Amino acid sequence: MTEKAEKLIIRLQEVTRIYKVGVEHIHALDGINLELGENEYVAVMGASGSGKSTLMNVLGCLDRATSGCYELDGQDTTKMSDATLARIRNERIGFVFQSFELLGQLSALKNVEMPLIYSQNGWWSRHMRAKNVLERVGLGDRIKHKPNQLSGGEKQRVAIARALVCNPSILLADEPTGNLDSKTSEGILDLFDQLYREGQTIIIVTHEEHVALHARRTIHMRDGRIYSDLPRDQDPAYNTTMQEDAREEPE
């Protein structure tokens, strides 16, 4: 956890996730220890198969650890019933995926309203909340559009709005720019930067260095383990980029 963070949001202790395939046991997570505080912006990096998505699924309460302890907002999720875990997931976690995962028949507004269906709020308050968050991600003029009437970047903004609408403790994004061209990707990364400045806690999975450099802390995974966990200014990749930028600076 960095110095800035005061409140602990995530604590993993010796977390494993073992998949059984026939007689084989795959240690997708192999003893993960991790603490994450409020308003951190973390990039999780690693080669394909290193366990990044499995970690996201466990952090997002979509999946359970095989062993170890996972505390979210001070509550031990390990012992929760499936129903409690589902409620916690809906209230505290916002997911963003590479493939957007929007409902094609519904407008941007209805997609964003979806997670609020379980809340006690009436339709007008759900409508206003969804509209406000679409405005926050820069889509105030697209709320009636359906996904096939939106560009890739706009679709991802709708997905981000949907992830934010319940005001989650953490925003989890698994390769959120993986399906976008580089200019559109930069727009989405600028939006994450904005959300971070507004106080959002963000975890972003990526295999791309330039994406990870937006985060303030970088975790590298290999074979289901964390092998480095550094603040950005101690990350060799960040320092190399900064030196290159400094060289490009005009006299």
Ligand X SMILES: Nc1ncnc2c1ncn2[C@@H]1O[C@H](COP(=O)(O)OP(=O)(O)O)[C@@H](O)[C@H]1O
Binding site for Mg ion (CB under 5 A): 52-53
26 binds, among ligand X, Mg ion, none (CB under 5 to 8 A by kind): ligand X
Nearest distance in Å: CB 157, ligand X: 24
239 CB-side CA count, 13 A: 6
In the complex, what is the shortest distance from the CB of residue 70 to ligand X, in angstroms, rounded to a whole number? 16
CB-wise, 17 or 52, nearer to Mg ion? 52
Between 53 and 107, CB nearer to Mg ion:
53
Q: What residues pair up with 36 in beta bridges, in sequence order?
A: 10
CB of 52: closest distance to ligand X in angstroms?
3
Q: What is the DSSP letter of 105?
A: T
- Within the chain, residue ranges assigned H as helices are 52-59, 82-92, 108-113, 123-136, 152-164, 182-197, 209-212, 236-248
Contacted entry of ligand X, Mg ion, none for residue 246, CB cut-off 5 to 8 Å set by kind: none
Among residues 121 and 228, whose Cβ is nearest to ligand X? 228
Nearer to ligand X, 158 or 205 (CB): 205
Looking up tokens 């912006």 gives: 41
203 backbone dihedrals φ, ψ, rounded to 5°: -120, 125
Q: For residues 51 and 168, which CB has a smaller minimum distance to ligand X in the complex?
A: 51
Q: Return the number of the residue (54 or 177) whose C-beta is nearest ligand X.
A: 54
Return the number of the residue (19 or 123) whose C-beta is nearest ligand X.
Answer: 19
Question: Alpha-carbon distance 162 to 94, whole Å?
Answer: 8
Cα separation, 104 vs 147, in Å, equals: 6
Q: Minimum Å distance from CB 53 to Mg ion?
A: 3
CB 31 within 8 A of CB 221: no
Q: What are the residues facing 230 on neighbouring strands?
A: 218
The minimum distance between CB 144 and Mg ion, in angstroms, equals 33
- From the list 117, 62, 51, the residue with the least C-alpha distance to 89 is 62
Residue whose pair of structure tokens reads 């960095």 in the numeric block: 2
77 binds, among ligand X, Mg ion, none (CB under 5 to 8 A by kind): none
**DSSP code of residue 60:** T
Q: How many Å apart are CA 39 and CA 242, to the nearest integer?
A: 24
Tell me how far, at minimum, the Cβ of 212 lies from ligand X, in Å. Answer: 14
Q: Report the interface residues with ligand X, using CB under 6 A.
A: 19, 21, 26, 28, 46, 48-54
Residue 59 Cβ, how far from ligand X at the closest point, in Å?
12
Q: Which amino acid is at 204?
A: I
